[in-house]
């Protein structure tokens, strides 16, 4: 079993400063999509990293089994290091901005990651030969050796960063309904 960390401290600057984790796509808050996926992979513990100035959001988490950690809010790497410093390993790290993320994708990633010997395994998403970090990583410990695994881009691994991303996701609500029910 692994612990799960959901990184939910994004600034949403390309979306006009909205709290991305609270955005609704297809009737579901982005944070809830990540939490559902984490629960469905049988995470032994789920922790959410939010910025200290977002402390009022703690009340939106209704599950007492989910621990909200107030991270410094100094940036992704700093917040990740902060929450990993108090984590039990192994840990899977998830973003809170993927509207169609499912436990099926996470299970496939974990199967591959656990076969690797590196301390850190990062899921890279590729389209037409161009790859980008997904925000999903597996940590055996903080730091150390690192390797990437590669998945072809598909809706379950797309994130929301811009207004165009929101429009794209909303346009898929009907076609992604079956995926939403798997969550």
Instruction: Quote the CATH superfamily of domain 3-180.
Output: Spore Coat Polysaccharide Biosynthesis Protein SpsA; Chain A (3.90.550.10)
Q: What is the pTM of this model?
A: 0.89
Bridge partners (DSSP) of residue 152 are 126
Cβ–Cβ contacts within 10 Å for residue 65, how many? 9
Structure tokens at 2: 């692994």
What pLDDT shows up at residue 182?
40
What pLDDT shows up at residue 134?
96
DSSP string, 114-149: HHS-SSEEEEEEEETTEEEEEEEEEESSSSS-EEEE
What pLDDT shows up at residue 181?
42
- DSSP three-state, residue 103: helix
- Residue 126 in contact with residue 60, Cβ under 8 Å? no
pLDDT in tens, 143-168: 899 999 999 999 999 999 888 998 99
- Residue 6 in contact with residue 38, Cβ under 8 Å? yes
Q: Count of alpha carbons within 13 Å of 119, Cβ hemisphere only?
A: 6
Can you give the residue ranges of every domain in the chain?
3-180
What pLDDT shows up at residue 22?
80
What is the β-pairing status of strands 130-139 and 91-95?
antiparallel
pLDDT by residue, tens only, the chain of 183 residues = 899 999 997 666 666 666 778 888 999 989 999 999 999 998 899 999 998 877 766 666 778 789 999 999 888 999 999 999 999 999 999 999 999 999 999 999 999 999 999 999 999 999 999 999 999 999 999 989 999 999 999 999 999 988 899 899 999 988 876 554 443
What pLDDT shows up at residue 179?
55
């Amino acid at each position: 079993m692994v612990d799960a960390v959901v990184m939910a401290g994004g600034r949403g600057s390309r979306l006009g400063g909205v709290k991305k984790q609270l955005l609704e796509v297809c009737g579901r808050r982005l944070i809830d999509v990540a939490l559902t996926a984490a629960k469905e992979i049988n995470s032994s513990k789920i922790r959410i990293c939010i910025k200290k100035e977002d402390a009022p959001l703690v009340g939106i988490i209704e599950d007492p089994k989910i621990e909200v950690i107030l991270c410094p809010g100094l940036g992704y790497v700093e917040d990740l290091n902060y929450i990993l410093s108090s984590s039990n390993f192994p840990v899977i790290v998830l973003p809170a901005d993927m509207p169609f993320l499912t436990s099926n994708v996470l299970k496939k990633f974990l199967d591959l990651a656990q076969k690797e010997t590196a301390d850190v395994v990062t899921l890279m998403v590729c389209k037409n030969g161009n790859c980008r970090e997904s925000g999903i990583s597996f940590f055996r410990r903080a730091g150390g050796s690192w390797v990437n695994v590669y998945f072809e881009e598909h809706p379950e691994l797309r994130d929301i960063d811009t207004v165009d991303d929101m429009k794209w996701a909303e346009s898929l609500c009907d076609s992604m309904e079956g995926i939403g029910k798997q969550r």
